Amino acid sequence: MKLPRIVVMPGSRRREALSRRVAQVCAQAVREAGAEVELVDLDDYPAPLYDGDLEAASGLPEGIVRLQRVLHASDGLLLVNPEYNGSLTPLLKNTLDWCSRPNPADAERSGGKVYAGRAAAVVGTSPGALGGMRVLFHVRDVLGYLGMQVIPQQVAVGQAGEAVGADGRLLDAARQGMLEGLAEALVDTARRLRA
């Protein structure tokens, strides 16, 4: 039986972003839970700020067309979110919005079809103690609106700058266990939705 394919995507493209570091830990947990993982770097899928007039004049940016294909080929999505003023990063929201747009040249792999009926999970990161807890509610709402099945498990990684050990796992054993439980639930949900 083919393994479920999960996209892991940090919501920042800053080179030293905490979400990038934690995304590596998440990707490993999802692999260990029995899925293939594609770790997406949003630097590889550039897009301007969404503008309906730009879309009407030029269509979808090439990076977004490629990312839509990655998402469409997946069974689930795990977003690793930094918290900007209690909510999503502009980069992540812009990317999700662009990917929700239909592409007349590839109607089957664009628009709502890249999200609908797929499993999703959210992880927050922050240099502070709360670990981006506030952003998780916002991201869950957006993903649910897009038609994704967001699992109830979520993890907030506080003091994320010091949270990852040399072995690529979270230093806090309890939080690592929560992340592994999230990964197992995500993979199981993705497998069930695909069946």
Please give the Cα distance from 125 to 119 (Å, whole number).
Answer: 20
Confidence band of 3 (pLDDT split at 50, 70, 90): very high
Tell me the one-letter amino acid at 3.
L
Please give the Cα distance from 195 to 190 (Å, whole number).
Answer: 9
Confidence band of 18 (pLDDT split at 50, 70, 90): very high
Closest by CA to 60, choosing from 123, 22, 13, 109, is: 109
- What integer is the mean pLDDT of 72-96? 95
pLDDT at 16: 87
Q: What is the dihedral of CA 54, 59, 65, 67, to 10 degrees?
A: 20
pLDDT at 149 over 80: yes
Query: How much is the mean pLDDT over the chain?
Result: 96
What number of other Cβ atoms are within 10 A of residue 188's Cβ? 16
Which structural domain range is residue 100 located in?
5-194
pLDDT at 131: 85
Domains of the chain: total: 1
pLDDT at 78: 98
pLDDT at 142 over 90: yes
Closest by CA to 56, choosing from 102, 97, 17, 109, is: 102
Q: What CATH number has the domain bearing residue 26? A: 3.40.50.360
Q: What is the pLDDT of residues 50-65, one digit of tens each?
A: 999 999 999 999 999 9
pLDDT at 105 over 90: yes
Q: What is the pLDDT of residues 107-129, one digit of tens each?
A: 999 999 999 999 999 999 999 88
| pTM, to two decimals | 0.96
The beta strand positions in the chain, using DSSP E, are 5-10, 36-39, 76-82, 119-125, 149-157
pLDDT at 77: 98
What percent of the chain has pLDDT above 70? Answer: 99
